[in-house]
Structure 1
Amino acid sequence: MKKNRLGKSDLYVSEIGLGCMSLGTDEAAARRIIHEALDQGINFFDTADLYDRGLNEEIVGRALEGRRSEVVLATKVGNRIIPGRDGWVWDPSKEYIMEAVKGSLRRLRTDYIDLYQLHGGTMEDPIDETIEAFERLKEQGWIRWYGISSIRPNVIREYVKRSNIISVMNQYSILDRRAEEAVIPLLQEHGISIIARGPLAKGILTDRGGHKAAGGFLDYAEEELHALRDQLQQIAESKRSLTHTALRYCMDQPAVGVTLAGASSVEQLRENAAASQAPPLTEEELGKIRSVSKANRYAEHR
């Protein structure tokens, strides 16, 4: 599978990554998916300390034992779980980040994290303090690089201006093109990679995902989604499946370092991974896709 350089770092990641949130809590099933991903050439695995209250990191860590050197392992921090209480609180403080990394390292059964990401962010955060925490962890060797996971252009601008982030995880798909207006040009200018999450738009942009259009998506009504699915299938014709068309839309964007797809079965994982062998979208196809889909814009967080 093709590998891309993540930002200006020394990390080279498979163009398709595995979003581990969808693995679930059946450890045997999750292990099969993770091992199949490795066999398919996927080397980028993304989790978070929040997923299943840390259990996801534990499952990923155990599944990767003996193969740690083969992977680029990413996790996230900032959503603080307080024992004995439901939910979580937002905590981007230096003190918490410096402490939370120890738990992630233990659960992941590793002595370093390749990419440590802030799991959110607001303009009210102590941004310089947060950056200082990541820089300190990098100096100490606990993490190799850091980035943020955010859909807020105003927050992203601050980190681009003040920090050494190499990536921004951002929701991006044919149905959510907001990043094209506010985020992609900025990151391209500064050599920072996008990690595209949600490329299949909650399954709507898969071959069997028509039923998932119920209730709409962002500024699309259900009827619009069904019509768009038909148009996209016509554009792809016999070249590739709808799933692969949706994945390639992100993969073929030069600013995207890795397209993150979840999988809850080995079959789904294989289908996603096969997008790397599907023909890239032509300029004509890209033009058609952009003409039939909406150039969404951020109404908030600008």
Structure 2
Amino acid sequence: MKKRQLGSSNLLVSEVSLGCMSLGTDVKSAQRIIDEAVDLGINYFDTADLYDFGLNEEIVGQALKPKRQDIILATKVGNRWNDVEDGWRWDPSKAYIKDAVKESLHRLKTDYIDLYQLHGGTIEDNIDETIEAFEELKKEGLIREYGISSIRPNVIREFVKKSSIVSVMMQYSLLDRRPEESVLPLLNEYNISVVARGPVAKGLLTNRAQEKLATNEAGYLTYTKKDLEQLIPALQGVDSDLNHAALNYCLYHPVVASVVAGASSPAQLRENVQAVEKLPLSELHYEKLQSLTKANKYEAHR
């Protein structure tokens, strides 16, 4: 598995990373998937304190503990469960971040987090205070680097201007090309990497696309179901392996360090890795895929 540098950091992450939210709560099943990921050369694992009330961090931490020195462990902070755990509120305060990191470290069974990410963010936040919290955690050695998970261009610009983030996790795919308008060029200019989530668009850009489409009534973003019924066969006409097209489309842009793909089975994980390990897209291949899809743009949070 090829690795790419994460922004200006010395973290080298696998081109395919495992999004751990999809692991579920069955410990044995999760362990099998994580072990398979490591065997396939994946070294980057992404979780969050929000997932399964922290249980996801516990499962991931236990599974990766024997391999800790060989992997890049990423988690997120900012969404705070209420006392009865039936909802959460947004809390990017310095006090909460510095308290929450200790809980994550305990659940992950580690002394440090490689990449600590703000799990959202609004332009109304006290961004300076949030940045101060992350910078202090770096100095204390509790985290190696930090980033944000956001699809809001106005928030991303503030962090680019004020902080030393090394990455932005954002939704990006052939069906969601919004980052291409301004965000990808901006991050590329400042040597801040993108970690692309949702690269297969809820399974619509996989080799099970027709199965997913059959149960899809709402479409996807600005694509109606009718649009997708016409588009997916056209994309398959360019590349019969939709997994290959979808994952490599994201990786074609030099600012993208890794595509985060969830997996509910070792077989699904192998399919994603095999797709990326095939030949990368040629310029012509890339342009053909682009010509079939919409260059959609962010309408909010500009």
TM-score by length of 2: 0.98
What amino acid sits opposite 1:292 in the alignment? L
Match of 1:118 in 2: 118
Distance 1:85 1:37 in 2: 31
Superposed displacement of residue 84, structure 1: 1.9
Distance 2:166 2:113 in 1: 14
What amino acid sits opposite 1:106 in the alignment? H
Distance 2:170 2:9 in 1: 19
Distance 1:292 1:279 in 2: 21
Q: Secondary structure at the match of 2:203?
A: coil
- Per-residue CA deviations over 1:79-106 (Å, capped at 9, x if unaligned) read 0112224110100000000000001000
Q: Among all aligned residue pairs of Structure 1 and Structure 2, give the percentage whose two residues are the same amino acid.
A: 62
Match of 2:298 in 1: 298
Distance 2:65 2:73 in 1: 12
Distance 1:275 1:14 in 2: 14
Q: Unaligned stretches of 5+ in structure 2?
A: none
What amino acid sits opposite 1:221 in the alignment? T
- Per-residue CA deviations over 1:169-227 (Å, capped at 9, x if unaligned) read 01000000000002100000000000000000011111112232312000000111121
* Counterpart selection for 1:221 from 220, 224, 228: 224
Q: Following superposition of structure 1 onto structure 2, how do residues 222-241 of structure 1 map, counting pairs within 5 Å? A: 222-237=225-240, 241=241
Q: Following superposition of structure 1 onto structure 2, how do residues 199-278 of structure 1 map, counting pairs within 5 Å? A: 199-213=199-213, 214=216, 215-237=218-240, 241-278=241-278
- Per-residue CA deviations over 1:1-45 (Å, capped at 9, x if unaligned) read 100000000100001100000111111000000000000000000
Q: Unaligned stretches of 5+ in structure 1?
A: none
Distance 2:22 2:193 in 1: 23
Q: Secondary structure at the match of 1:297?
A: coil
What amino acid sits opposite 2:133 in the alignment? A
Q: Following superposition of structure 1 onto structure 2, how do residues 1-302 of structure 1 map, counting pairs within 5 Å? A: 1-213=1-213, 214=216, 215-237=218-240, 241-302=241-302
Distance 2:94 2:108 in 1: 21
Superposed displacement of residue 287, structure 1: 1.0
What amino acid sits opposite 2:197 in the alignment? R
TM-score by length of 1: 0.98
Q: Work out whether residues 173 and 201 of structure 2, in 8 Å CA contact, stay in contact via their aligned partners in 1.
A: yes
Distance 1:224 1:243 in 2: 19
Distance 2:239 2:202 in 1: 20
Distance 2:295 2:18 in 1: 27
Q: Secondary structure at the match of 2:137?
A: helix
Q: Work out whether residues 209 and 232 of structure 2, in 8 Å CA contact, stay in contact via their aligned partners in 1.
A: no
For the aligned residue pairs, the C-alpha RMSD in angstroms reads: 0.8
Question: In terms of mean alpha carbon deviation, does 217-226 or 273-282 score higher?
Answer: 273-282
Q: Secondary structure at the match of 1:65?
A: helix
Superposed displacement of residue 277, structure 1: 1.5
Q: Work out whether residues 193 and 257 of structure 1, in 8 Å CA contact, stay in contact via their aligned partners in 2.
A: yes
Q: Work out whether residues 2 and 276 of structure 1, in 8 Å CA contact, stay in contact via their aligned partners in 2.
A: no
What amino acid sits opposite 2:66 in the alignment? G
Aligned pairs, how many? 299
Q: Secondary structure at the match of 2:301?
A: coil
Q: Work out whether residues 37 and 269 of structure 2, in 8 Å CA contact, stay in contact via their aligned partners in 1.
A: yes
Structure 1 runs of 4+ with >3 Å offset: none
